[in-house]
Amino acid sequence: MIDSILAVIVVIIAGWAIAKNYDAKVVLFIAALVLLYSGLLLGHNVLGAKATTGLSWVDPFKVIKDQFVRQYSNAGLIILTLFGFAAYMSHIGAYDMVIKVLTKPLSTSASRSSGL
């Protein structure tokens, strides 16, 4: 029960800090550390038995490192896919066609305005 109350308090404080225009990344990072360390103090494991570092006070940083690695590997895959798509579109000439289609209305309005 105290876990839930503490989590609600930390979320409310984090929301207040973000509403007061504190940097959201820093606020959320600190809130995560507070929640992870409070979990340790209340007797919970933040990592599984196989993934632990051996020092419980270092485990929250390992959790954060693992999350960063997981998030950035997903972002890297998305960026790689987008670059591949862009290279393919450039190879088949799709960009030239898009520019031609999108600039066609501009050329007709430019010829009208020069006639005035």
pLDDT in tens, 9-47: 999 999 999 999 999 999 999 999 999 999 889 988 887
Q: Which two tokens stand for residue 17?
A: 């800090």
Q: What is the mean pLDDT of residues 39-62?
A: 81
- The reported pLDDT for the residue numbered 23 is 94
- The reported pLDDT for the residue numbered 113 is 61
Asked whether the predicted pLDDT for residue 64 surpasses 80, the reply is yes
Asked whether the predicted pLDDT for residue 102 surpasses 90, the reply is no
- The reported pLDDT for the residue numbered 25 is 93
Percent of the chain with pLDDT over 70: 92
Question: Which of 1, 3, 6, 28 lies closest to 17, judged by CA?
Answer: 28
pLDDT band for 114, please (50, 70, 90 cuts): low
Question: Which of 73, 76, 48, 77 lies closest to 62, judged by CA?
Answer: 48
What is 25-54 written as a DSSP string?
HHHHHHHHHHHHHHHHHTT--SS-TTT--S
Q: Which two tokens stand for residue 41?
A: 């103090």
CA 74 to chain centre: 10
CA 33 to chain centre: 18
Please give the Cα distance from 7 to 1 (Å, whole number).
10
- The reported pLDDT for the residue numbered 111 is 62
Which one of 29-33, 62-66, 74-78 scores highest in mean pLDDT? 29-33
